[in-house]
């Protein structure tokens, strides 16, 4: 990453505390000051061309680990106490975990004397800049907005809009100071790097926007699926899946094409750089320009750029593969175009249904899949998938905080057994007696139609099967479905 700023300071420090770093929360700001002091003290050591003892690096990393445990716990307590938006809290906590994991990995590498001190300094300063100026400033802004009566979600959205503009100036200044400590780069090579980074950033931004649009479309589609509880609407879900699959495949195609073009551009730029290297090799050993070029190449870290660009392209292609997989799972879930009785894989149907409703489950429960070896079952696969969907969504809604949903299948000879169990709040005996009645619901008005379990019961009965429930208040619920492998009247 390169940066420009109108003024240059040679203070000998990577960071100087200023008002842009302040969150307004004394404990958080004091801990940030402490971290900045730690990095400023370590920067000359880590940036030095002289060998650094592993003991000194280990001491720094141990201090960082101790700091992270204390600071992250304080921040997460602060967020919990102010009821910030769950999506933001999850993002913030994930950054904490990633930082702690990276420092632990570096600590292990130091023990094996494999640590790269320059990379360590780059990692610490980059993470510090983006976390304090980005994530923590967003946290502070949201807390202040909540104190003024703004809703948690709106406070999160507002902080996202303000984030980039507030962080740009001090970020560039901090990064400029960091690079002054490490070295001066050869200007011609810097310009080449900047041009390459600008093109990569532009392409990456385009891909991020397009992937975000695709993700939004998929989320909206999954929400629509969960609302279609009546069995007669499964045909509409199938049509929707086919249409969306077509629409998604088109942008996926040109995103994939853009990735191919981007890869070609990168290969050309890298080939040009290789040519520069060949020309450099022809310079006399005594030529000062040769030494300057060698020094500039080393400091530009071109080997890292080569590998990182390839990784970025590969990760983008992996994301496209994930999108295609989601579309395929949705089509399998709805069994587009299949309205006749057929031999279906129940385990595969459960997997497709889990993927379709994953957005409803991932924040509420860990899903345990305990599948047995099953023969294919003669059934209306789309309708059984609807039963699974209703039970999985109900299981997630029964879990008030974080719990477990277990999906279990077994072969019972002439029948197969499917169990969907949760660790939620459970049901009383009186509720259990009525849950399969049409329009019976324990949810608030407007939150449910009371048809989901009634429809599930009808579909299972249509398959000559049975559905039972076992539950205790406070101990969770288990629904058990049994259907014959060969339905005696499936062709009627």
- Could you tell me the maximum CA-CA distance found in the chain, to the nearest angstrom? 93
385 near 333, Cβ under 8 Å?
A: yes
Q: What are residue 367's DSSP bridge partners?
A: 405
Q: How confident is the model at residue 331 (pLDDT cuts 50, 70, 90)?
A: low
Residue 478 has pLDDT above 90, yes or no: yes
Q: How does pLDDT run across 185-225, given as a tens digit for each residue?
A: 334 444 666 677 788 888 888 888 888 888 777 765 654 45
447-456: buried (b, 16+ CB within 10 Å) or exposed (e) per residue? ebebbbbbbb
464 near 487, Cβ under 8 Å?
A: yes
**Residue 417 neighbours by CB distance under 10 Å:** 17
Q: Determine the 3-state secondary structure of 404 from DSSP.
A: strand
Tokens (6 digits) for 127: 């993470």
Q: How does pLDDT run across 284-323, given as a tens digit for each residue?
A: 877 788 778 777 777 777 777 777 887 888 788 777 777 7
Contacts 24+ apart (CB under 8 A), 357-362: 357/222, 357/225, 357/226, 357/389, 357/392, 357/393, 357/396, 358/222, 359/219, 359/222, 359/223, 360/222, 360/226, 360/392, 360/393, 360/396, 361/392, 361/396, 361/405
* Helix, strand, coil tally for the chain in percent (to 5): 65, 10, 25
Nearest to 177 by CA among 29, 4, 41: 4
Q: How confident is the model at residue 5 (pLDDT cuts 50, 70, 90)?
A: very low
103 near 65, Cβ under 8 Å?
A: yes
Q: How confident is the model at residue 374 (pLDDT cuts 50, 70, 90)?
A: very high
Mean per-residue pLDDT, 130-141: 80
Beta-strand ranges (E) seen in 269-386 are: 342-344, 365-370, 377-379
Phi, psi of 412 (to 5 degrees): -115, 30
Q: How does pLDDT run across 19-37, given as a tens digit for each residue?
A: 777 888 888 888 888 888 8
477 near 398, Cβ under 8 Å?
A: yes
Q: How confident is the model at residue 146 (pLDDT cuts 50, 70, 90)?
A: very high
Query: What confidence score (pLDDT) does residue 41 get?
Result: 78
What are the Cα distances from residue 70, in Å, to 21, 32, 50, 389, 404?
Answer: 19, 12, 32, 42, 29
Report DSSP letters for 35-49, one per residue: HHHHHHHHHHHHH-S
Query: What confidence score (pLDDT) does residue 422 get?
Result: 93
453 near 436, Cβ under 8 Å?
A: yes
Q: Determine the 3-state secondary structure of 387 from DSSP.
A: helix
113 Cβ partners below 8 Å, 6+ apart? 54
Q: What are residue 452's DSSP bridge partners?
A: none
Please give the Cα distance from 200 to 262 (Å, whole number).
Answer: 8
Q: Determine the 3-state secondary structure of 345 from DSSP.
A: coil
Residue 396 has pLDDT above 60, yes or no: yes
Query: What confidence score (pLDDT) does residue 220 get?
Result: 58
Phi-psi region of 301 (alpha: psi -120 to 50; beta: other; left: phi over 0): left
Mean per-residue pLDDT, 83-87: 91
Please give the Cα distance from 364 to 395 (Å, whole number).
Answer: 9
| Residue matched to tokens 């001190």 | 117
Q: What are residue 23's DSSP bridge partners?
A: none
88 near 156, Cβ under 8 Å?
A: yes
Q: What percentage of the chain has pLDDT greater than the value 90?
A: 14
377 near 346, Cβ under 8 Å?
A: yes
Q: Determine the 3-state secondary structure of 152 from DSSP.
A: helix
**Residue 259 neighbours by CB distance under 10 Å:** 19
480 near 419, Cβ under 8 Å?
A: yes
16 or 456, which is more confident: 456
Least confident of 35-44, 198-207, 405-414: 35-44
Query: What confidence score (pLDDT) does residue 236 get?
Result: 56
Mean per-residue pLDDT, 438-446: 62
**Mean of all residue pLDDT scores within the chain:** 76
Please give the Cα distance from 88 to 384 (Å, whole number).
Answer: 36
Question: What domains does the chain contain, in order, with CATH numbers?
Answer: 1-182 (1.20.120.50), 184-337 (no CATH), 340-484 (3.30.565.10)
Residue 279 has pLDDT above 90, yes or no: no
Query: What confidence score (pLDDT) does residue 333 get?
Result: 62
């Amino acid at each position: 990453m390169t940066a420009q700023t109108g003024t240059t300071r040679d203070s000998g420090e990577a960071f100087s505390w200023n008002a842009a770093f302040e969150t307004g929360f004394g404990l958080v700001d004091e801990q940030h000051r402490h971290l900045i002091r730690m990095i400023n003290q370590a920067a000359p050591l880590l940036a030095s061309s002289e060998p650094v003892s592993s003991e000194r690096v280990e001491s720094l990393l141990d201090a960082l680990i101790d700091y992270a445990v204390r600071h992250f716990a304080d921040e997460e307590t602060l967020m919990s106490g102010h009821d910030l938006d769950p999506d933001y809290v999850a993002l913030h906590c994930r950054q904490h975990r990633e930082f702690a994991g990276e420092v632990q990995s570096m600590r292990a590498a130091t023990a094996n004397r494999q640590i790269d001190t320059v990379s360590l300094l780059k990692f610490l300063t980059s993470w510090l800049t983006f976390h304090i100026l980005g994530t923590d400033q967003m946290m502070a802004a949201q807390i202040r907005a909540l104190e003024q009566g703004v809703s948690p979600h709106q406070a999160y959205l507002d902080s996202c809009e303000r984030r980039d503009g507030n962080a740009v100036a001090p970020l560039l200044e901090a990064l400029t100071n960091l690079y002054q400590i490490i070295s001066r780069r050869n200007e011609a090579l810097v310009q080449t790097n900047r041009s390459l980074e600008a093109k990569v950033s532009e392409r990456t931004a385009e891909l991020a926007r397009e992937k975000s649009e695709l993700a939004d479309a998929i989320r909206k589609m999954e929400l629509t699926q969960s609302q279609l509880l009546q069995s007669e609407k499964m045909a509409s879900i199938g049509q929707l899946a086919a249409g969306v699959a077509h629409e998604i495949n088109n942008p996926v195609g040109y995103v994939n094409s853009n990735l191919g073009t981007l890869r070609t551009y990168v290969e050309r730029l890298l080939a040009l750089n290789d040519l520069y290297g060949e020309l450099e090799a022809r310079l006399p050993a005594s030529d000062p320009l040769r030494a300057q070029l060698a020094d500039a190449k080393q400091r530009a870290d071109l080997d890292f750029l080569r590998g990182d660009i390839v990784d970025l392209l590969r990760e983008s292609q992996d994301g496209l593969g994930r999108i295609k997989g989601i579309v395929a799972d949705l089509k399998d879930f709805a069994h587009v175009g299949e309205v006749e009785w057929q031999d279906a894989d129940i385990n595969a149907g459960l997997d497709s249904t889990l993927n379709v409703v994953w957005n409803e489950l991932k924040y509420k429960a860990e899903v345990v899949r305990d599948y047995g070896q099953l023969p294919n079952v003669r059934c209306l696969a789309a309708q059984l998938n609807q039963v699974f969907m209703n039970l999985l969504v109900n299981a997630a809604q029964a879990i008030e905080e974080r719990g477990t949903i277990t999906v279990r299948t077994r072969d019972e000879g002439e029948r197969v057994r499917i169990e969907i169990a949760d660790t939620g709040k459970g049901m009383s005996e009186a509720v259990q007696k009525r849950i399969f009645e049409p329009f019976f619901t324990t949810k608030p008005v407007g939150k449910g139609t009371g048809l989901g379990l009634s429809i599930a019961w009808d579909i299972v009965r249509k398959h000559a099967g049975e559905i039972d429930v076992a539950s205790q208040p406070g101990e969770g619920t288990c629904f058990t479905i049994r259907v014959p492998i060969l339905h005696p009247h499936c062709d009627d």
